[in-house]
Amino acid sequence: MQLTNRSKKTDKTPLTLAEKSYLPGIAKGMGITLKHFFSKKATIRYPEQTRYLGPIFRGHHILKRDEEGRERCTACGLCAVACPAEAISMVAAEREKGEEHLYREEKYAAAYEVNMLRCIFCGLCEEACPKEAVYLRHDKFVPVFTSRDQVIYGKDQLVEDMDDRYERDAWTKEEMQKLWEQQKPVNY
Amino acid sequence: MDSVFLIKSLIILGIFALSLGIAAYETYFERVIAAFIQDRVGPDRAGPFGLLQPLADAGKLFFKEDFIPTLADKWLFILGPSLAMLTALMTSAVIPFGDSILYDGHEILVQGIEVNIGILWVFGVVSLGVYGILIGGWASNNKYSLYGAIRAASQNISYELAMGLSIIAVLMMSGSLSLRTIVEEQHGMNWNVFYQPLGFIIFLTCSFAECNRTPFDLPESENELVAGYHTEYGSMKLGLFLFSEYVNMFISSAVIATLFFGGFNYPGMDWVYSALTSKMGEVTGHNLATLVGTLVFFGKIAFFIFVYMWVRWTLPRFRYDQLMDLGWKGLIPLAVVNMIITAAAELSNQPLLVNWIGLGVFIALLYAGSALMKSKKTSV
C-alpha cells in the first residue's frame, strides 16, 4: 500500500563507466564540502556570545516587587504546593504597622527559599502564583554551584532589586503570541 | 669548507624541524578544516585562533600514563611507534626543497642529500613504514590491534604496486631516479601532471592508501576495530603513531608536488631569476630566487595537505573488498595502461600530444567495451 508519493524507487540500473570510476561522484562530493568550507558558521562561542533564548525561557527565580517597591508575595504557599520537586519552602509573617512600604499584602514571606538542587525549572510556581510575585527570569541562569551550602537561595538572592528591575518582553500570552509572530525563522 | 658544512647542517636541521613543525600544525589544521567543512569553527581557545592547540595536545599526551599491557611484548611494543616515526622522518632527506644556495663560491643544494636513487629511497623507506604499524599491532596482544595491523600490511602491499607502476611512467619521461633531475626536467611549466593525468590520479589515490588516510583508513577504522593497530597505545606512544601519520602526509604531499607538479618550479621563474640577479647581484639574487622557489614548493605542499584533509572529510571509508578490488582490479591495470601509453608517447616526438591521444583512445575503448557488454546482456 502506498501511503505517500514521496518515496523514491531504488535505482537498480547497473553503473555506467563514469560512475564506476567514482571520479565524478568524488568531484561532486568535494564540491559540496568546499561550499560548506566557505559557508557561514553556525557556531556561537558560548561564554562570550549568547543567543536570545526567547521571552519564556525559564531561568533564575525572582520575587517581584510592585511599582512602589513593595514585595508582592503574600506567602500563600500555592507555589510550594504546585512545585512537583518540593523545592520551595517559606515562613509567613504578619505585616506590622509602619511596614506598609515594604510589603503589599497584610501577610508576607519572612523567609522564602528555593532549593536549586531540587528545582527542575518547570515554571509551575510561576503559573500558580495569584499575586504575580514569583517568576523565572528569561535572561539569567542560576549560576553553577560548587558546594551544598550555595544551593539554597534565600530572599537575599531572590527578591527583585529596584535599581535593576526585571522586565520581560512579554508578560501575557497575547503579548507572547505577537512576539512570536515577529520572530524571524532561524535555521540552525 | 667549514661554513659550507655549517650551512648544509642548517639546511638539514631546518628540513627536520620543518617536517616536525608542519606535522604538528597539520593536526591543528586538520581540526580547523574538519570544523569548517562541518560549518563549525574548530579549536579557538588555546592562544590566538587556537594556534597553541598542538602544544596543548602534545603536553597532554606527554603527561598521560605511559601504559604497556602486561601480556604485550614490551620491547616490540615500544619499537612500533619508534619505527613508525623514524621511517616517517627519514624520507624527507632526499626531497629537493629548493634550488641551491650560493655561498663563498660553493653551490649548496637545498636538500638533505642529493642521491641518484632518490625516489627509490623514498619507496624503500615508505615500505618499511608499515613495519611500525605491523609490529605495534602485533605486540599489543589484542585481536583488534592485530586486525588493524594485518589490514595495514595488506593494504600497503596492494597499493605500493600500483604506486610503483604509476611512478615508472614518470621515470620513463625523466630518465632518472634522482628527484632533483625529475624536478629540473619539469622546468618551464613542463609539469608531469599535464603529461600524466592518469598517473597522477593513480599516484594520489595510492598515496592516500599508503598514508592510511580516509577513505583508506581501514587499519584504524574506529567503528569496526576500536582504534585498530593503536588500540592498546596511550600517552606519547600513541602520539608518535598519530604524528608519524601526519609527517607521512607532509612527505607524500612533497613527493606529489615533486613528481607531478614541478617541485620548486613555477611559471615566470626565469623572469624572476633574471630580474633578481640583475637587481641584487649574482649571489644574493640567486639565493633570493631559491627562497622564492622554496616558498612556492611549500605552497604546493600546503595545497596537497589541504586536499588530503578535504578528501578525508568528504569520502566515507571503503569496505575491505572494495579496497582490494580498487587496488588490484582497478589501479594496477590502469597503471600498466598508463605505462604503455607513456612508452609510446616517449618513442614518438610529441609526448604531450600522444599521451593525451593515447588516454582518449583508451577511454573510448573502455566505453565501447562497456557498451558491447551491455548490449550482450540485454539481448540475453
A10-14, B72-76, B302-306: which has the minimum mean pLDDT? A10-14
ipTM of the complex as predicted: 0.76
Task: Name the interface residues of B facing A (CB cutoff 8 Å).
Answer: 33, 36-41, 44, 201, 310-311, 313-315, 366-367, 370, 374
Please state the domain extents for chain A: 61-180
When CB atoms are compared, the residue of A17, A29, A41 closest to B39 is A41
Which residues in A lie closer than 8 A to residue B374 (C-beta atoms)? 14
Which residues in B lie closer than 8 A to residue A14 (C-beta atoms)? 374
Residue A62 pairs with which residues in a beta bridge? A135
Q: Cβ–Cβ of A37/B201 closer than 8 Å? A: no
CA-nearest residue of chain A to B215?
A26
**Residue A164 exposure: Cα atoms within 13 Å on the Cβ side:** 7
Give the model's pLDDT for residue B378.
Answer: 58
Mutating which of A12, A38, A41, A45 best tests the B interface, going by the most B Cβ atoms within 10 A?
A41
Which residues in A lie closer than 8 A to residue B367 (C-beta atoms)? 17
Residue B133 lies in a domain: yes
CATH number corresponding to A61-180: 3.30.70.3270
Q: How many domains does chain B have?
A: 1
What is the three-class DSSP state of B299?
helix
- What is the secondary structure of A135-171 as a DSSP string? EE-SS-PPPP-SSGGGSEE-HHHHBPPGGG----S--
Residue B45 lies in a domain: no
A136-140, B78-82, B224-228, B358-362: which has the minimum mean pLDDT? B224-228
CA-nearest residue of chain A to B313?
A33
Report, in this order, helix, strand and coil percent for chain A, each rounded to 5. 25, 15, 60
B67: confidence class by pLDDT, cuts 50, 70, 90 = confident
The percentage of residues in chain B with a pLDDT greater than 90, rounded to a whole number, is 6
Of A184, A181, A157, give the one whose Cα is nearest residue A170: A181
Choice between A20 and B330, residue whose per-residue pLDDT is larger? B330
Give A29→chain B minimum CA distance, Å. 6
Give the model's pLDDT for residue B114.
Answer: 79
Q: Cβ–Cβ of A14/B374 closer than 8 Å? A: yes
Geometric angle at alpha carbon A39, from A36 and A43, rounded to 5°? 100
Give A53→chain B minimum CA distance, Å. 21
A88-97, A165-174, B83-92: which has the minimum mean pLDDT? A165-174
Cis peptide bond N-terminal to B215, omega within 30? yes
When CB atoms are compared, the residue of A17, A26, A37 closest to B366 is A17
Average pLDDT over residues A3-27: 81
Residue B367 lies in a domain: no
Full-model pTM: 0.80
CA-nearest residue of chain B to A38?
B36
Residue B2 has pLDDT above 60, yes or no: yes
Q: Is A74 annotated as a binding residue?
A: no
CA-nearest residue of chain A to B32?
A37
Residue A184 has pLDDT above 70, yes or no: no
Q: Is A23 annotated as a binding residue?
A: no
Residue A185 has pLDDT above 70, yes or no: no
Contact status, residue B66 vs residue B265, Cβ threshold 8 Å: no
Residue A69 to residue A32: CA distance in whole angstroms: 59
Give A20→chain B minimum CA distance, Å. 10
Residue B1 has pLDDT above 70, yes or no: no
Average pLDDT over residues B351-379: 79
Q: Give all strands (DSSP E) within chain A, no chain letters.
A: 61-63, 88-94, 107-115, 134-136, 152-153
Q: Is A184 annotated as a binding residue?
A: no
Of B198, B374, B202, B317, give the one whose Cα is nearest residue A17: B374
Residue B218 lies in a domain: yes
Give A140→chain B minimum CA distance, Å. 25
The percentage of residues in chain A with a pLDDT greater than 90, rounded to a whole number, is 20
* Average pLDDT taken over every residue of chain B: 85
Q: Is A127 annotated as a binding residue?
A: no
Mutating which of A28, A34, A35, A37 best tests the B interface, going by the most B Cβ atoms within 10 A?
A37
Residue-number span of the structural domain to which B117 is assigned? 64-317
A115: confidence class by pLDDT, cuts 50, 70, 90 = very high
Residue B307 lies in a domain: yes
Q: Cβ–Cβ of B33/A14 closer than 8 Å? A: no
Q: Cβ–Cβ of A30/B366 closer than 8 Å? A: no
Which residues in A lie closer than 8 A to residue B44 (C-beta atoms)? 45
Residue B80 — φ and ψ, nearest 5°?
Answer: -50, -65
Give the model's pLDDT for residue B377.
Answer: 60
Residue B358 lies in a domain: no
Residue B280 has pLDDT above 80, yes or no: no
Average pLDDT over residues B144-171: 88
Give B363→chain A minimum CA distance, Å. 10
Residue B240 lies in a domain: yes
Give B97→chain A minimum CA distance, Å. 29
Give the model's pLDDT for residue B170.
Answer: 87
Average pLDDT over residues B288-293: 84
Q: Cβ–Cβ of B39/A14 closer than 8 Å? A: no
B380: confidence class by pLDDT, cuts 50, 70, 90 = very low
Residue B353 lies in a domain: no
Q: Cβ–Cβ of B41/A23 closer than 8 Å? A: no
